[in-house]
Structure 1
Amino acid sequence: MTDTRPLTTASTAFLAAARAGLTELADPRKAPDMQRYMKSEMPFRGVASPERRVLCRRLFAEHPLSDVDSWRATVLSLWRDAEYREERYVAMDLSGDRRYARWQSPDLLPMYEELIVTGAWWDFVDEIASRRVGPLLRAHRDMVTPVMRRWATDPDLWRRRTSVICQLGSKEDTDTDLLTYCIEVNVGDRDFFIRKGIGWALRQFARTEPAWVRAFVDAHPTLSPLSRKEATKHL
């Protein structure tokens, strides 16, 4: 677990307001269907994404956090103590809010790793991988690339998936050596989320370098049918 300092008064106020806001927006009629769709053990409040985003805009404006330790502690407290899945969605929204963009650094990798491993499902992991870890990789390649290489062979499924899909938004800045490595060491994995992630990463990069992706697919006959189908969907 990532260590955090004690919560500040601002953090405590934010947490109380977040939980009160979600309670006010809760729709018990929607909650069971949302939980069933997400196959979640953690219950839902029944707050739809558009309503949550409106709530977050208000929360973030009314309860600013003045330093990186307070911000990180708030994210982790909301995540760790969540009783409903929407609380974790708010924690993720807070972790990516533009007001705190200046604090995004490799020092946050332990926090994001905790969210990935304890979240352990695609709705959490895919957002963190592509919108938190990916930008850190592009901005700090020397520090983050070795971490992604380690995660690519990690026993944890969700660390491995993160290593494969973290470059979804990289376009022409894609590190093809890293992408190749992360795919090749996982190409024999039969897990759906790995096979789908490989195909997704290749399909996305095909929008920028279709010839590279075609050559990669042709050179890797052991790609699963699912990975191959996804990779070549728009070629």
Structure 2
Amino acid sequence: MNESQTLVKAVRAGLAAGGDARKAPDMQRYMKSELPFRGVPSPERAALGRQLFAEHVLTDEADWRASVLTLWREAAYREERYMAIALTGDRRYAQWQTPALLPLYEEMIITGAWWDFVDEIASRRIGPLLRSFPDELTPAMYDWATDPDLWKRRTSIICQLTFKEATDTKLLSSAIEANLDDRDFFIRKGIGWALRQFARTEPEWVRAFVNSHPGLSPLSVREAVKHL
């Protein structure tokens, strides 16, 4: 058994041992998930990840990718996918966070297709890549803003949530404008969220943007101006 297989086995065993069958149905119902839950709350899951990732350090990028993809693609419980996302963000593998990971994250976004997966990847994986590699990631985000997949479009809208003064307003504007007519809740909520976050840094810019875009949905506007 190689390093990747050992880590995957340890993650699955840890989730099984730490699960609470009484909590699992409620967690699945809340998340509207087809995948069942083990019933491992977020704090316990995070602690398990810290423990297991420290005990099973991967020294090869291929093994790291294989671990992530096995946990993701072969997940029998939703927590396995949460652990896959956590593994992508472990500090030990920061040197492998390059534009070469974009197809991996794209697969996770498309196949995850729900806010609990997508929002973490968008803001904590795609966002940092965009800041570190703007020449490569910015064109990709422009493309994603008009992609048929709504979760890629949501990602293009919310990927700059933590950017503050470093926000690329041209990209933000373009991503929002490309989706103004979309009636999907998650797109409209994402637009409002992105604007609300940026309003903490540039309230006048957001106010002007809202005023100059009457096509924004009421939901997007309510979110955008919540703190103005």
Question: 1:219: how far off?
Answer: 0.6
- The residue number in structure 2 matching 1:234 is 227
Residue of structure 1 equivalent to 2:88: 95
In the alignment, which residue of structure 2 is the partner of 1:25?
A: 18
SS in 2 for 1:27: coil
| CA distance in 2: counterparts of 1:9 and 1:68, whole angstroms | 13
TM-align CA RMSD: 0.7
In the alignment, structure 1 segments of 5+ residues that lack a partner are 1-7
Question: Which residue of structure 2 aligns with residue 106 of structure 1?
Answer: 99
Q: CA deviation at 1:72?
A: 1.1
Q: Which one of the candidate residues 32, 37, 57 is aligned to 2:30? A: 37
Alignment of 1:181-192 (within 5 A): 181-192=174-185
List 4+ stretches of structure 1 deviating above 6 A. Answer: none
Shift of 1:9: 0.6
**Equivalent in the alignment of 2:208:** 215
What secondary structure does 1:113 align onto?
helix
* Residue in structure 2 matched with residue 129 of structure 1 by the alignment: 122
SS at match of 2:22: coil
Give the residue type in structure 2 aligned to 1:57: R
- C-alpha offsets along residues 164-222 of structure 1, whole Å, 9 cap, x if unaligned? 00000111110000000000010110000000000000000001111110110011011
> Secondary structure of 1:17's partner?
helix
Q: Secondary structure at the match of 2:63?
A: helix
Counterpart CA distance in 1 for 2:162 and 2:39 is: 30
Alignment of 1:66-81 (within 5 A): 66-81=59-74
Name the structure 2 match of 1:4. none
Q: Are positions 1:84 and 2:67 aligned together? A: no
Q: 1:78-131, CA deviations, whole angstroms, 9 ceiling, x for partnerless residues?
A: 100000000000000000011111110000000000000000000000000000
Percent identity, please: 71
Structure 2 match to 1:16: 9
* Distance in 1 between residues matched to 2:144 and 2:89, nearest whole Å: 22
**Equivalent-residue separation in structure 2 for 1:215 and 1:200 (angstroms):** 16
TM-score (norm 1): 0.96
AA in 2 matched with 1:188 = D
Moved more, 33-42 or 8-17: 8-17
Q: CA deviation at 1:160?
A: 0.4
- What residue in structure 2 maps to residue 166 of structure 1? 159
Aligned residues: 228
Give a deviation string over 1:24-59, Cα, whole Å, max 9, x none.
001100000000000000000000001101110110
Letter in 1 for 2:186: F
Q: What is the rounded CA distance, in whole Å, between the counterparts of 1:149 and 1:69 in structure 2?
A: 29
